């Protein structure tokens, strides 16, 4: 009988809730449908952690309890995610787990945590559109796609893109038929009331300024890392 394979979602204070809850719902369905996988959440300690929404989350396991998961998924966020780039316990766990993981993934600015752990050097990657130039600080090549697979590393664009990435991952792990079943089960059929994003009308300067401000708050005590991020690639924009 094939052993159940574990996909671990990394939690830390201040992350964006949808970054991990969306993909978690998809991956949890693999377990619910008996497809040979289980989803767990991991953190430095099993205590309530704030998110960027009025809800806290508590990991099901500590880092020590899941040292070598089959897969690892790292969510992103705002200023707290930038602070997490300098968290040696967090990045150390990500680096260690990635050594044996068959899949390492991120959502939104979670890719910067992968970069800080040394996992993006020489790889194509994506993150939130306003933070794309920062990927260059870690030796990655920014690519404007909904998700990007480069070897065993899979990165997703901003927030809601994590669901798309997780469905793609599910198809890779258990086949398209099962992934389509999961998509139908969670009724993921986006029809936004305002239609698709009109990228020509997006206030890029405002959002890019906001991301830079988040980085400045999160890395106020890490001036070298802050400078590395905010000057990466000449801070030139990368369009979706």
| pLDDT above 90: percentage of residues in the chain | 95
Catalytic residue among 15, 103, 108, 229: 108
Handedness of CA 7, 79, 133, 228 (dihedral sign): negative
Yes or no: is domain 5-191+199-234 CATH 3.90.180.10?
Answer: no
**pLDDT computed for residue 240 by the predictor:** 72
Mean of all residue pLDDT scores within the chain? 95
Q: Residue 227: is its pLDDT beyond 90?
A: yes
The residues, any chain, with a CB within 8 Å of residue 135's CB and separated by 6 or more, are 111, 112, 115, 120, 125, 126, 127, 141, 142, 232
Q: What is the mean pLDDT of residues 169-196?
A: 96
Establish whether 167 is a catalytic residue.
no
Q: Residue 3: is its pLDDT beyond 90?
A: no
If pLDDT is split at 50, 70 and 90, which confidence band does 77 have?
Answer: very high
Please state, in angstroms and rounded to a whole number, the distance separating the CA atoms of residues 226 and 240. Answer: 24
Q: Residue 94: is its pLDDT beyond 60?
A: yes
pLDDT per position as a tens digit, 27-52: 999 999 999 999 999 999 999 999 99
Q: What is the mean pLDDT of residues 131-145?
A: 97
Secondary structure (3-state) at 173 = helix
Structure tokens at 85: 């780039």
**pLDDT computed for residue 79 by the predictor:** 98
Q: Residue 236: is its pLDDT beyond 60?
A: no
Task: Give the H or E element holding residue 38.
Answer: strand 37-43
**pLDDT computed for residue 237 by the predictor:** 62
Q: Residue 1: is its pLDDT beyond 70?
A: no
**pLDDT computed for residue 234 by the predictor:** 54
Q: Residue 235: is its pLDDT beyond 80?
A: no
Q: What is the mean pLDDT of residues 7-11?
A: 98
If pLDDT is split at 50, 70 and 90, which confidence band does 141 have?
Answer: very high
Structure tokens at 102: 């068959």
């Amino acid at each position: 009988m094939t052993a159940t394979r574990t996909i671990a979602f990394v939690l830390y204070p201040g992350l964006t809730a949808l970054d991990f809850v969306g993909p978690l719902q998809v991956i949890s369905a693999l377990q619910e449908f008996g497809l040979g996988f289980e989803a767990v959440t991991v953190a430095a300690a099993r205590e309530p952690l704030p998110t960027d929404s009025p809800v806290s989350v508590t990991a099901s396991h500590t880092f020590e309890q899941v040292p070598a998961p089959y897969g690892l998924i790292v969510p992103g966020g705002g200023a707290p995610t930038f602070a997490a780039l300098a968290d040696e316990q967090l990045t150390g766990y990500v680096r260690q787990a990635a050594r044996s993981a068959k899949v390492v993934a991120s959502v939104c600015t979670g890719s910067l945590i992968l970069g800080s752990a040394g996992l993006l050097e020489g790889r194509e990657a994506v993150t939130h559109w306003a933070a794309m130039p920062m990927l260059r600080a870690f030796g990655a090549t920014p690519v404007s796609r909904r998700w990007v697979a480069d070897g065993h590393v899979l990165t997703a664009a901003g927030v809601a893109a994590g669901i798309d990435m997780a469905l793609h991952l599910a198809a890779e792990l258990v086949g398209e038929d099962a992934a389509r079943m999961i998509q139908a089960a969670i009724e993921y059929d986006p029809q936004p009331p305002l239609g698709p994003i009109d990228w020509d009308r997006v206030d890029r300067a405002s959002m890019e300024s906001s991301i830079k401000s988040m980085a400045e708050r999160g890395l106020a005590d890490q001036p070298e890392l802050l400078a590395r991020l905010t000057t990466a690639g000449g801070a030139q924009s990368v369009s979706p």
